[in-house]
Amino acid sequence: MKTTTIAAVQMLNQVGGAAINAKRTCTWMERAHKAGASLVIFPECNLTGYTTGNPESAAISLSDDAVCAVESCARELGISVGFGLIESCASDADGTSSEEASEQLGAMRPFATYVVFVGRAAQQQTNDAPGHATACDRLVYRKTHLGQRESSFAAGDALPVQNIGGIQVGVQLCWESHIPDIAATLRHQGCQLLLTPYAMGMDAGSRLTSWSRYLPARAFDNGIYVVACNALFAKDDGSITGGGTACWKPNGELLGSYTQSDEHMALFSIEGPLPREHAQKNMREISYFDRRRPELYRTH
């Protein structure tokens, strides 16, 4: 796996304020580029804000001006970006409409969507031509497992992995990280880097304590890097809660973290080889995922 620097940003956003959020997202992207990052990731629904009360009121399409602004910024800077939004029924990059997907699921509700867009420099590494976003430029993930308070959303039905600047990237959103089958399915498709964007109001220190109970296992069991970042939320009294960023190495060790509830950008440098890529001469180097016997496992 190639060496790269990832910027994980925790930022405030405005529910329903996609244009404002896009401008602030681009400002952080510029800072990440200056800091040497080739991939910058943002929390769940950072572009629209996250809400479960009436998410349709904040929903935008993948062709919205705010989405185009963020992707244009990525092209200009030559970096890749991961960002989240509440997605309304509109055509996506692969030609399948989310309206059609919603109808298949028996509902016309918005999705909690996460996009990883390949910037120009990354396109050159993956032999993609610059221009308007296509299926080759974007990983589009629609949250597949919804929480108890997310009944106003529709669930996606795909777990994609895509080459982003020479690294195979997958996504699971927020509480989905508790479900090991998601990470294992992504790893089966070649995932090397798992992004876990969050939108939860827990303070950053408590967030890391909670993550530490399960995200190291997602990394260690699958021999992959895991990067998490959580959104910030403004309380009625003007104080800020939420936040937290962290990265775990393929052996489950914590590479780095940030546990304050303020706007911040953390940088993580990841590099190979992954367990699957070296000789595995002893138990410390073993790729546990590759020693599985799937034929023995029941489907629950």
47-87: pLDDT as tens digits: 999 999 899 999 999 999 999 999 999 999 999 999 999 99
Cα angle, residue 177 at apex, residues 214 and 222 outer, rounded to 5°: 70
Give the pLDDT confidence score for residue 141 in this predicted structure: 97
**Number of CB atoms found within 10 A of residue 273's CB:** 12
Report DSSP state, residue 299: P
Give the pLDDT confidence score for residue 300 in this predicted structure: 57
Question: pLDDT tens across 232-285, in order?
Answer: 999 889 899 999 999 999 999 999 999 999 999 999 999 888 888 877 677 667
Residue-range domains of the chain with CATH: 4-274 (3.60.110.10)
Give the pLDDT confidence score for residue 180 in this predicted structure: 95
Give the pLDDT confidence score for residue 292 in this predicted structure: 85
Question: pLDDT tens across 240-255, in order?
Answer: 999 999 999 999 999 9
